Chains A and B, each alone.
Chain A
Amino acid sequence: MADNLLCNIIEQVQTICDKHGNNPGELINILHEAQHLMGYLPEDMQRAIARKLGIPVSKVYGVVSFYTFFTMTPKGRHPISVCMGTACYVRGAEKLLEEFKRQLGIEVGETTPDGKFSLDCLRCVGACGLAPVVMIGEKVYGRLQPIDVKKILDDFE
C-alpha cells in the first residue's frame, strides 16, 4: 500500500473513532465503518484504532477475528458469496460451492491472484424461495446448478 494512501486512510479511521467519542464500547460500530473504507481491516488500521481508543491491539484483533463479518483479506472486484443456509444446503449449495472453487482455483476466504473474484460463504440471504442462492456483488442469483457456474463467471468482463 502506498504510504500516502495509508496515511489518508488512517486519518479517516481516526475521524471515525473521534465521532464515536473514542469509546472502546463502540469498537464494533467503529470497525463496521472502518471496514467500509477499504473493504477489509489491515493490521495497520487495527493498530491505529487501538491507539486511538487506548486499548491493546490484541483486544481489537480479538474482536476482528471473532466476528465473521470482519475480514483481514482484501476482497476481489466481484466478491462471490455462496449461501450456506440450511435451505440452500439441502437444495445443493455444497455442490455449487465445489464448482466455484474448482472454476476459480481458490478456497473459501481467498481471492483470485488477478483480484477479480473472491469466494466466501454466508449464512442465509433470506431468499430461501430461490435456493440455492449465490450473491455476486449486490446481485442475487437464484435456483443455480453447478452447470450454470462457468457461464456466470464468463459473463464478468
Chain B
Amino acid sequence: MKIVSLNDLQQIKKKAESLLALREASDKEAQEQTCGLASGTPRIQVLTCGGTGCKASSSHIIAENFRKLLQRYGISDKIDVITTGCFGFCEKGPIVKIIPDNTFYTQVSPDDVEEIVSKHIISGNKVERLLYVDPKDGQHVSDSKHMDFYRKQMRIALRNCGTIDPENIEEYIARDGYMALADCLLSKTPMEVISIVKQSGLRGRGGGGFPTGLKWEFTHKQESDTKYVVCNADEGDPGAFMDRSIMEGDPHSIVEAMTVCGYATGASKGLVYIRAEYPLAIQRLRTAIKQARDYGLLGDRIFGTDFSFDIEIRYGAGAFVCGEETALIHSMEGKRGEPTLKPPFPAESGYLGKPTNVNNVETFANIPIILTKGPEWFASIGTEKSKGTKVFALAGKINNVGLIEVPMGTTLREVIYDIGGGIKNGKKFKAVQTGGPSGGCLTEKHLDTPIDFDNLLAAGSMMGSGGMIVMDEDDCMVSVARFYLDFTVEESCGKCTPCRIGNKRLLELLNKITEGKATEKDLEALSTLGRVIKDTALCGLGQTSPNPVLSTLDNFHEEYVEHVRDHKCRAKQCKALLTYSINPDLCIGCHLCFKHCPANAIAGDIRKPHSINPDLCIKCGMCMARCKFKAISVC
C-alpha cells in the first residue's frame, strides 16, 4: 500500500509491532525458563544470522534446514524463522537465537538444526554444547545480555542489526522506522532539521570526523536547480566491515536518512556508491529501495508533500582512493577515480558539477534515531567533542572477533580486554592498529586513552572508518608498516608525485629493512620522506599514507633498529633474517621434513638426525609445520 500520511505509517507500525514484540521483550527482560512447545510456549521465533561472515559458514542452509524440519514436524505455523543482519559476534558464528528465551547458540552447523528443534523448540531443553562458554569461568552463558562481549556495548547505528528482518520494511517501521522522515517532512523546515543534526554533535564516521550538520548546511545554502545526496559505501579499508553490515542488516535506515538529507539540503536525487564486491549488501539495499518506492516512501510527493526523492545505486570497481569524496564523484561519472584539489568542495561543485552532499553509511545510520530521540539524547553520549557511539570491526589476534559499537570515550583496554576477551592463545598484546592504511599503531601506553576523534589523532593514529586490528608479540611492526604501504602503493592513483613516487621509495626502504640490507641512515630517510609526503600529497590518501610507517617508527623504534643493526626480527616474520635449524637431539630421523621440503634443502638418512642446508632453504616453514617432535627451530 502507498503511505500518504502519518496516520498510514502509524497504522502499519501498529500492525507490525506484534512481530517485534516478542523479540523486544526478550531483549529487555531476563527469561529464566526455556521456551518449548511442550511446556506451552505459544509462539517461538528462530533468528539466524544472514550477514556475509555467517553466510560464509552456511547460515543460509541452517535457516533452510529449520524451515524444512518445522514443516516436517507440522509446527511451522507456531514458529517463525527469520533471517536477520549481523549479530556482531563473528568469531562464534554462525549464530542462531531462539526467542522468547533469548538463547544464543554459537558455531551452529546445518547438522545441529535437528537437535535444536527436537530438544529445545519442542521439548524446552537447551542444547548445552552449542552455548557460549565464558572463558573466565568455563560456565555456559545462554543469554547474550550476560556476555562480556555485549555488556559494554551500546548499539545505536547497529540498533536493528541482528533484530529485524532487513528484507521486511514493516519490521523496520515497527521500530519507529520512517517516523523521523514523516516528522521532518510534515512539521519541520529544512533548516530546523539541519539545526537538530548540528546540535547532536554528530561527526562524519567515514574517517575525517567533519561535523555532519555543517556539511548539510553548506549544501543547503547553495543555489542550484539540481543537488545530489551521495552515500559513500565504498568501504575500502581492508579489515573494516561495519558499513557492509549496516547495509546488510538495516538498509532502510540508510534509505530513510538519505531522504531526510535530501529534504534538508534541497536535493531530489540520492546515489549510493557501493563496492561491487558486496553482493549481499547490494541486494538488500535494492530490495529496501524497491519496498520504499512501493510504500510511497521514495518517489514523488512523499507523505503528500511537495518533496520528491529517489535513490539509485552506483557500483565501485575496487579502488581505495574512491573513498575520497572528489575521487568518488569522478568514479560515479564513469571516469578514473582521481581526486581533485578542494576547494571547490563537493557541496559547491560535485556530481556533474552540481552541489553534492557526501556522507558515509554509518553517519547516515545515526540520523533517523537522532531525529526520533532528540539531539540532546545523542549529545549526552560520548566525549566533549565526539558525540554518540562508534562501530568498530574488531579483528586480528583477539579472542572475540566481531563488530562492536561502543560510546565514544570508551578506552582501548575496555574494547580489547572486556569486549574482545583479550589476546588469542594467551599471547602478549603488542599493538592495535586503527584507521586502516591511513592510521597508525597504538601501543600498551595508549590502552587507557579514551577513544575519540581527537585523542586518536593526538596519539598519532586516527579514527578512520573503524577498523581495529589487534596484534600480538608474533607480529613484526616493520612488516605491518610494509603491508600497509604495499597497499597504498598499489592503490595510489598516480596523479600527484609525492604519493606516486614518494610512497614507492618508502616501500623500497621498508623492503630493504626487512631484508636486512638497510643502514641506520635509511631509518632517517624513512622518517624525513614520510613527513614530506604528509605535507605535500594532494588528497587524504597520500597525506595519511605515511602514518603506519611514522607511528611504528615512533612507537617501535627499537624494533626497526634491531632489523638494521642486528639483522634480527624478534617476531620471526622477516624471512631474510631467519635461519631454520634441526636439533639433532630431538630429531629421530622420521624423514617427514625431507619429504615435504619443496627446496630439497634437507638431508639425512632415515633414523638419523637430519640437517638443513641454509643455502638451499627458502624459509617456507613447511618442515617446522610437519615435524611432530618439535625438533625444528627458527631464530
Residue numbers in B under 8 Å from A87 (CB-CB): 238-239, 393, 395-396, 401, 469
Whether B241 lies near A68 (C-beta < 8 A) is no
Whether A86 lies near B337 (C-beta < 8 A) is no
Residue numbers in B under 8 Å from A128 (CB-CB): 53, 90, 239, 241, 393, 395, 401
Residue numbers in B under 8 Å from A133 (CB-CB): 56
A146-B620 in contact given A25-B333, A86-B467, A90-B397 (Cβ < 8 Å): yes
Q: B110: CB under 8 A from chain A?
A: no
A129-B53 in contact given A32-B317, A66-B319, A145-B625 (Cβ < 8 Å): yes
Whether A90 lies near B396 (C-beta < 8 A) is yes
Whether B625 lies near A147 (C-beta < 8 A) is yes
Residue numbers in B under 8 Å from A99 (CB-CB): 620
The complex places the Cα of A90 from the Cα of B276 at a distance, in Å, of 25
Which residues of chain B (280-322) have a CB below 8 Å from chain A?
A: 314-320
Q: A127: CB under 8 A from chain B?
A: yes
Of B236, B278, B483, most buried by chain A (CB within 10 Å of CB) is: B483
Q: A123: CB under 8 A from chain B?
A: yes
The complex places the Cα of A127 from the Cα of B520 at a distance, in Å, of 40
Q: Which residue of A lies closest to B89 (CB)?
A: A129
Q: Which residue of A lies closest to B493 (CB)?
A: A66
The complex places the Cα of A22 from the Cα of B625 at a distance, in Å, of 56
Over the window 117-157 of chain A, the binary record of Cβ atoms lying under 8 Å from chain B Cβ atoms (1 yes, 0 no) is 00000111111111101000000101001110000000000
The complex places the Cα of A124 from the Cα of B92 at a distance, in Å, of 19
The complex places the Cα of A80 from the Cα of B480 at a distance, in Å, of 24
Whether A131 lies near B401 (C-beta < 8 A) is yes
Whether B334 lies near A127 (C-beta < 8 A) is no
Query: Distance (Å) between the CB of A31 and the closest chain B CB?
Result: 7
| Interface SS majority for chain A | helix
A126-B52 in contact given A102-B620, A146-B625 (Cβ < 8 Å): yes
Residue numbers in B under 8 Å from A86 (CB-CB): 238-239, 395-396, 433, 436, 467, 469, 483-484
The complex places the Cα of A91 from the Cα of B179 at a distance, in Å, of 44
Residue numbers in A under 8 Å from B487 (CB-CB): 123
Q: Which residue of B lies closest to A66 (CB)?
A: B336
Over the window 461-496 of chain B, the binary record of Cβ atoms lying under 8 Å from chain A Cβ atoms (1 yes, 0 no) is 000000101010001000010011001000001000
Query: Distance (Å) between the CB of B379 and the closest chain A CB?
Result: 32
The complex places the Cα of A128 from the Cα of B90 at a distance, in Å, of 8
Q: B91: CB under 8 A from chain A?
A: yes
Q: A70: CB under 8 A from chain B?
A: yes
Residue numbers in B under 8 Å from A23 (CB-CB): 334
Whether B333 lies near A129 (C-beta < 8 A) is no
Whether B57 lies near A126 (C-beta < 8 A) is no
Question: Of B57, B236, B335, B475, which contacts A63 at CB under 8 A?
Answer: B335
A63-B53 in contact given A32-B317, A86-B467, A87-B401 (Cβ < 8 Å): no
Residue numbers in A under 8 Å from B493 (CB-CB): 66
Question: Of A25, A88, A95, which contacts B334 at CB under 8 A?
Answer: A25
Q: B93: CB under 8 A from chain A?
A: yes
Residue numbers in A under 8 Å from B621 (CB-CB): 95, 146
Whether B483 lies near A26 (C-beta < 8 A) is no
A130-B53 in contact given A86-B395, A122-B277 (Cβ < 8 Å): yes
Residue numbers in B under 8 Å from A147 (CB-CB): 622, 625-626
Q: A24: CB under 8 A from chain B?
A: yes
Q: B610: CB under 8 A from chain A?
A: no
Q: B259: CB under 8 A from chain A?
A: no
The complex places the Cα of A61 from the Cα of B60 at a distance, in Å, of 39
Query: Distance (Å) between the CB of A97 and the closest chain B CB?
Result: 12
Q: A40: CB under 8 A from chain B?
A: no
Residue numbers in B under 8 Å from A130 (CB-CB): 53, 56-57, 90
Question: Of A62, A67, A85, A98, which contacts B317 at CB under 8 A?
Answer: A67
Whether B52 lies near A129 (C-beta < 8 A) is no
Query: Distance (Å) between the CB of B463 and the closest chain A CB?
Result: 16
Query: Distance (Å) between the CB of B514 and the closest chain A CB?
Result: 12
The complex places the Cα of A86 from the Cα of B319 at a distance, in Å, of 16
Q: B240: CB under 8 A from chain A?
A: yes
Residue numbers in B under 8 Å from A67 (CB-CB): 316-319, 337
Residue numbers in A under 8 Å from B90 (CB-CB): 127-130
Q: Which residue of A lies closest to B320 (CB)?
A: A123
Whether A125 lies near B319 (C-beta < 8 A) is no
Which residues of chain A (8-22) have a CB below 8 Å from chain B?
A: none
Q: B331: CB under 8 A from chain A?
A: yes
The complex places the Cα of A139 from the Cα of B374 at a distance, in Å, of 45
Residue numbers in B under 8 Å from A104 (CB-CB): none
Question: Of B317, B319, B480, B622, which contacts A90 at CB under 8 A?
Answer: B480
Residue numbers in A under 8 Å from B604 (CB-CB): none
Which residues of chain B (381-401) have a CB below 8 Å from chain A?
A: 393, 395-397, 401
Query: Distance (Å) between the CB of A41 and the closest chain B CB?
Result: 11
The complex places the Cα of A40 from the Cα of B53 at a distance, in Å, of 27
The complex places the Cα of A23 from the Cα of B333 at a distance, in Å, of 10
Question: Of B93, B238, B335, which contacts A129 at CB under 8 A?
Answer: B93
The complex places the Cα of A13 from the Cα of B411 at a distance, in Å, of 54
Query: Distance (Å) between the CB of A151 and the closest chain B CB?
Result: 13
The complex places the Cα of A91 from the Cα of B318 at a distance, in Å, of 23
Residue numbers in A under 8 Å from B317 (CB-CB): 28, 31-32, 67-70
Q: B251: CB under 8 A from chain A?
A: no
Residue numbers in A under 8 Å from B471 (CB-CB): 90
Whether B318 lies near A28 (C-beta < 8 A) is no
The complex places the Cα of A1 from the Cα of B245 at a distance, in Å, of 41
The complex places the Cα of A127 from the Cα of B49 at a distance, in Å, of 13
Which residues of chain B (325-340) have a CB below 8 Å from chain A?
A: 331, 333-337
Q: B269: CB under 8 A from chain A?
A: no
Over the window 57-99 of chain A, the binary record of Cβ atoms lying under 8 Å from chain B Cβ atoms (1 yes, 0 no) is 0000011001111100000000000001111111100110011
The complex places the Cα of A68 from the Cα of B401 at a distance, in Å, of 28
Q: Rank and list the top 7 A-B pairs by shortest CB-CB distance, nearest first.
A: A129-B90, A87-B395, A67-B317, A27-B334, A86-B239, A85-B238, A140-B56
Task: Identify the B interface with A (CB < 8 A).
Answer: 52-53, 56-57, 90-93, 236-241, 244-245, 276-278, 314-320, 331, 333-337, 352, 393, 395-397, 401-402, 433, 436, 467, 469, 471, 475, 480, 483-484, 487, 493, 598, 620-622, 625-626
Q: A68-B319, A129-B93 are in contact. List 12 more A-B contacts (CB 8 A).
A: A25-B352, A29-B314, A66-B336, A67-B317, A85-B239, A86-B239, A87-B238, A123-B238, A123-B320, A123-B487, A126-B241, A128-B241
9 contacts between A and B (CB under 8 A): A24-B334, A28-B315, A31-B317, A67-B316, A70-B317, A94-B483, A123-B320, A124-B237, A128-B401
